[in-house]
A = this chain, B = another copy of it.
Amino acid sequence: MRVILCGFGAVGQGLARLFESRADDLHARFGLKPRIVGVADSGGAVHDASGLRAGSLVAAKARGGSVASCGGRAGMAGSELVADADADVLVETTSSNYADAEPGMSHITAAMARGMHVISANKGPLALAFPSLMELAAHNGVSLRFSGTVGGGTPILDYAKNSLRGERIVSFRGILNGTTNYILSAMAGGMSPEGALADARSRGYVEADESLDLDGIDAAAKLVILANWVMGMKVTLPDVERTGIRGVGADDVRRAAGAGSAIKLIAECDGGLSVGPSDVRTDDPLCVNGTLNGISFVSEHSGTQTVIGRGAGGTETASSIVRDLLDIRRDMASR
């Protein structure tokens, strides 16, 4: 299976390494032989139909350079790579951009137009255009998968869609952003808001654009993806009523604790869509701390069910991309 990677940060590099370290296992257990035939990063791109080695690609990044230095071309854009290279699947892992979703949106639409299946770990295009991207995929007869966008390696989307098949999910609410959960948990432990933010920054938990975490944009993007995929809604980012955590003070956290609760940034789908700080009782299974993510689905016949896991991490998200690849291969086989 020929794969193009657009974006080569923690997730892309994790995936390339996973392909190599698990080559025997993936082949023996699943008959999957992924071959990376092209990689683009912000500095350029490289293309080789016979396959690129993970080691050299990762080494190029470690030197602070671009993958273009592996025999590719500096300045070559991801969209050129998608236009030039023949592949079965595009794996899109460039940064989420909630203004116009570029360059991910162009990569995805160009790949679909060329008949490639798409796996997106990039939330931007899905948050801004989920309904139309699904239509485009159907129109071009390709699959669009995005397991890694919600919950990292924790298969939240698959749980809701497949493990609960035959059941109707009535509503759900979740802690979908690990960074704000870390900050709020630290505040519950007695830190000041400023101290907790500085601590999270020093651990590398906060996005370069801090607004994505602190203003609840990242959580809202994941909520949009869940609402479309799990609930069959046709919604985009502007449909979410959104408040971040900047207004949460030490007093609020103390008041909540006094009432047997903790303040969490809760993304909720219950008729409407909202993201905002909310009191969660500490004996609620959803009340997880640190960088953990969690989600509670209220089902019609099977009660409330909660799934908890690490929400991020290069290897974890890469492992979700492997699951998407297995799905796509199964879809290809049944056509």
Seen from chain A, the residues whose Cβ lies within 8 Å of a Cβ on chain B are 18, 25, 30, 152-155, 158-159, 162-168, 283, 285, 288-289, 292, 294, 299, 301-310, 313, 315-316, 318-320, 322-323, 326
Contact = CB atoms under 8 A, between A and B. Distances in A.
A289 B284 CA distance: 9
Nearest to A288: B285
B158 A163 contact: yes
State the oligomeric state as a number of copies: 2
A166 B301 contact: no
Contact of A306 (B166, B301, B307, B322): B307
A309 B302 contact: yes
B299 A304 contact: no
User: Which of A159, A294, A299: most chain B Cβ within 10 A?
Assistant: A159
B159 A303 contact: no
A305 B154 contact: yes
Contacts of A301: 18, 153, 315-316, 318-319, 322
A126 to B, nearest CB: 20
A161 to B, nearest CB: 9
A165 B163 CA distance: 12
B166 A299 contact: no
A30 B299 CA distance: 17
Nearest to A282: B282
A208 to B, nearest CB: 24
Contacts of A304: 309-310
Contact of A163 (B159, B289, B315): B159
User: Which of A310, A320, A323: most chain B Cβ within 10 A?
Assistant: A323
13 contacts: A30-B166, A153-B299, A159-B159, A162-B162, A166-B319, A166-B322, A166-B323, A283-B289, A285-B292, A301-B315, A302-B310, A304-B310, A306-B306
Contacts of A154: 302-303, 305
B309 A305 contact: yes
A308 B308 contact: yes
B306 A309 contact: yes
A182 to B, nearest CB: 13
Contacts of A152: 302-303
Given A288-B285, A319-B301, A163 B166 contact: no
Contacts of A162: 158, 162-163
Contacts of A158: 162-163
Contact of A303 (B25, B283, B313, B318): B313
A163 B25 CA distance: 18
Contact of A302 (B25, B289, B316): B316
Contact of A155 (B164, B306, B313, B319): B164
Contacts of A315: 301
Contacts of A18: 301
A308 B159 CA distance: 12
Contacts of A302: 152-155, 309-310, 316, 319-320
